[in-house]
Amino acid sequence: MRVVKILLLLMIFVIVVYGGDPVIIKFATVAPEGSTWITVMDEFNQAVQEATNGEVKFRIYAGMVQGDEKDVLRKIRINQLHSGGFTGVALGTILPEIRILDSPFLFKNHDEVDFINSKFERRFAQNFEYAGYILLGRAEVGFVYVFTNEPVKNVEEFRGIKMWMWEGDPLAEATFKAFNINPIPLSLTDVLTSLQTGMIDGVYTSPLACIATQWFTKTKYMINVPLTNSYGAVLVSKRIFNKLTPEQQTILKEKGREYFEKLTMLSRKDNEKSIEAMLKAGIQKIEVTDQAELNNFYEVGRKTRENLVGKLYDQQLLDEIELALKEYRAARKEKE
């Protein structure tokens, strides 16, 4: 009997001191093993484990082993997974208004991107929380460009391209509608084969993703006018987040901000290097310098944003972001 009591005391001591089994957060992303995304995610995971004395850790599934982003979201909803790194397409299924950050021809440089994100981040984080998720940090995919097999220098020439569209993406659909293009909707996994067979001859993606997916091997031109800046983020479900102690929750948020800001900066450098690598491999960059043609692209962006009011976001949010950008640009111009 005494031995049993001693064993029980030892078990209680272990639970009190070590907190029992660690909380394992199952995380999935389409980013492949060896990518900067996964390298930083591993660093983040290690930092979280050290800060929580091993009481919280991530189990990372990379390279679409858990399916595409829609599959990951579905698995989070049924508690098979708990967290994911997502692009705007998946994020928009949770919080449609976040897609305004992906709208075409909204941003002209990274400074504008950072300004708007910092100004509106609290609003989006709160709304993600209302939807059942905690925003651990922005993980920007970067500026997205159009890659084609035919040279395109203006809006009119876009209409001759058999353009791919990410299947089920309302923003891409609205964008190409503003271009007067009928895109071909496909899942990510079908794009490379469709380029090979000639079913499509135009895609849009970040330079880094274009290399990772090998789409650049089946295209010839890159139109050097960013179509959009692709917003990305790491979310964790409130279901598992609420199992953490307040201290652990704070650690997760603080480390998330630190490491995913680092990821955004590294992604920008990787995208620059990816453009250089593709140019060396034979991709030709098409520069659009005529202001009238650029204005036509910006008009496509304006139409797209207006057409999505009431569908993805309200007029007030659109007005606030466009006004903030206008004021920011005016202030920057005065300093120059």
What mean pLDDT is predicted for residues 46-67? 96
Calculate the CA 50 to chain-centre distance.
Answer: 27
| pLDDT > 70 fraction of the chain, expressed in percent and rounded | 94
On the question of pLDDT at 6 being above 50, the answer is no
- Is the Cα torsion angle 262, 268, 273, 278 positive or negative in sign? positive
**What is the predicted pLDDT for the residue at 188?**
86
The predicted-structure confidence for 61-87, as pLDDT tens digits, reads as follows 999 899 989 899 999 999 999 999 999
The predicted-structure confidence for 241-288, as pLDDT tens digits, reads as follows 999 999 999 999 999 999 999 999 999 999 999 999 999 999 999 999
**What is the predicted pLDDT for the residue at 32?**
87
The maximal CA–CA distance of the chain, rounded, in angstroms, is 90
60: number of Cβ within 10 Å: 20
Rounded mean pLDDT of the chain? 92
- Is the Cα torsion angle 166, 167, 169, 173 positive or negative in sign? positive
The predicted-structure confidence for 124-134, as pLDDT tens digits, reads as follows 999 999 999 99
Domains in the chain: ranges and CATH: 2-335 (3.40.190.170)
Round to whole Å and give the CA distance between 140 and 291.
28
The contacts of residue 36 (CB under 8 Å, 6+ apart) are 208, 263, 266, 267, 270
- Is the Cα torsion angle 37, 38, 42, 45 positive or negative in sign? positive
In degrees and rounded to multiples of 5, residue 62 shows phi and psi of: -105, 170
In degrees and rounded to multiples of 5, residue 258 shows phi and psi of: -65, -50
Task: Give the containing element (helix H, strand E) for 59.
Answer: strand 56-61
Side-chain half-sphere CA neighbours of 252 within 13 A = 27
Side-chain half-sphere CA neighbours of 320 within 13 A = 14
In degrees and rounded to multiples of 5, residue 130 shows phi and psi of: -60, -30
The predicted-structure confidence for 159-211, as pLDDT tens digits, reads as follows 889 999 999 899 999 999 999 999 999 988 899 999 999 999 999 999 999 99
**What is the predicted pLDDT for the residue at 4?**
42
SS3 assignment, position 204: strand
Question: Which band of pLDDT confidence, cut at 50, 70 and 90, is reported for residue 334?
Answer: confident
Round to whole Å and give the CA distance between 126 and 313.
15
**What is the predicted pLDDT for the residue at 16?**
42
Question: Which band of pLDDT confidence, cut at 50, 70 and 90, is reported for residue 20?
Answer: low
Calculate the CA 192 to chain-centre distance.
Answer: 20
Helices (H), the chain: 2-18, 36-51, 69-77, 88-94, 110-130, 155-158, 170-178, 191-197, 207-212, 238-241, 246-280, 291-307, 315-335
What mean pLDDT is predicted for residues 206-221? 94
On the question of pLDDT at 15 being above 60, the answer is no
152 closest CA partner among 221, 210, 228, 199: 221
